[in-house]
Amino acid sequence: MKTYLDCFPCFISQALRAARIATNDEKKIKTILDEVGMMLKNIPLGCPPPESARLIYHKVKKITGNLDPYKKIKKESTQKALSLYPFLENRLEKSKDRLLTAIQIAIAGNVIDFGADWDFDIESETYKVLEMNFAVCDYNRFKRNLDKAPNVLYIADNAGECVFDRILINEIQKPVTYVVRGMPIINDATYEDAVQAGIDRVATILSSGTDAPGTVLETCNPEFKNVYKDSEFIISKGQGNYEALSKEKRAIFFLLRTKCTVVADDIGVCRGDIVLKGPDDYNS
């Protein structure tokens, strides 16, 4: 997805939110806003937003010296999500279509996002999403492609959300490689978040190497790029990964809840909708 003009106010908002999480020093926060303001002119509209957001979060880290401001928040999100795990399993047991329900559960976990959103309650949002209808639901293509695939590349989004992903990974019943960020960035899942969520019991965890809040391929390590190149079936979670990968001509199925009008408009749905979107230009 390209960077839209509407992303620019959001870049400043994100810088402010991240700065406040990283420090209480108002002078440092003002410096961050000043410097991110000056960065706007270098943000190209042709690149996906996470590519630029990455540089903005670098600036926050550099000025505050806080390399992982969301560490505590991430841990708490995972604990909260783990406490919901029995409820999620129970929901799956009662379901008529276990795979579809597992997909919906995985999307419900995508409410845990401190980048685009801010003010949310994991529990009540989960219940809400589980009652929603999909705005886009390429479920039949998803199933068809999954059946044919020898294995699955599952690109994670946020810490806490990993717990919800476990439910879907269990239902997939194929070998799954679960991809996490290479470095802490906002509340995105890294290796230790995935382990805390118990992903190591159901999948092979692989770092993409990126420190962007989305799988910006240019910033990924060769190991991930090789696996990605050979993958026949890819699940991509969340907005950041959608923004980074939506133009790829690959069998990528995007599972997300839209949290801003820019991404919602790009997909052609409303903000807050839940989406299971298959590839546009791919013969699947």
Q: Which residues contact a second copy (rule: CB under 8 A)?
A: 5-6, 8-10, 12-13, 16, 20, 26, 29-30, 33-41, 45
CB of 20 to a second copy, least distance (A): 8
CB distance 224 to 230 below 8 Å: no
**Nearest in space to 257 (alpha carbons), one of 113, 47, 77:** 113
Count Cβ atoms below 10 Å from residue 271 Cβ, excluding itself. Answer: 14
End-to-end CA distance of the chain: 21
**Residue closer to a second copy (CB basis): 40 or 89:** 40
Contact criterion met (CB below 8 Å) for 230 and 149: no
- Least Å distance, CB 1 to a second copy, is 16
Distance CA 57, CA 17 (A): 10
Closer residue to a second copy (CB): 42 or 283: 42
* Beta carbon of residue 143, minimum distance to a second copy (angstroms, whole number): 39
Instruction: Name 42's bridge partners.
Output: none
Phi, psi of 158 (to 5 degrees): -110, 155
Task: Please state, in angstroms and rounded to a whole number, the distance separating the CA atoms of residues 284 and 250.
Answer: 10
Q: State in angstroms the smallest separation of the CB of 24 from a second copy.
A: 12
- CA–CA separation, 183 and 258 (whole Å): 24
Nearer to a second copy among residue 38 and residue 270 (C-beta): 38
- Closest CB 34 distance from a second copy, rounded Å: 4
CB of 157 to a second copy, least distance (A): 23
Q: Please, which residue, 8 or 139, has the CB nearer to a second copy?
A: 8
Nearest to 188 by CA among 273, 110, 121, 243: 110
**Token code pair at residue 244:** 């980074």
Residues 167/105, Cβ–Cβ less than 8 Å:
yes
Paired tokens of 139: 């479920």
Nearer to a second copy by Cβ, of 59 and 181: the residue is: 59
72 to 4, 125, 184: CA distances (angstroms): 32, 21, 12
Cβ proximity to a second copy, 10 vs 269, nearer residue: 10
Least separation in angstroms between CB 154 and a second copy: 33
Closest distance of CB 33 from a second copy, Å: 5
Which CB, 60 or 189, lies closer to a second copy? 60
> Which one, 23 or 258, has the nearer CB to a second copy?
23
Question: How far is residue 188 from each of residues 2, 22, 34, 237, measured CA to CA in Å?
Answer: 21, 15, 25, 11
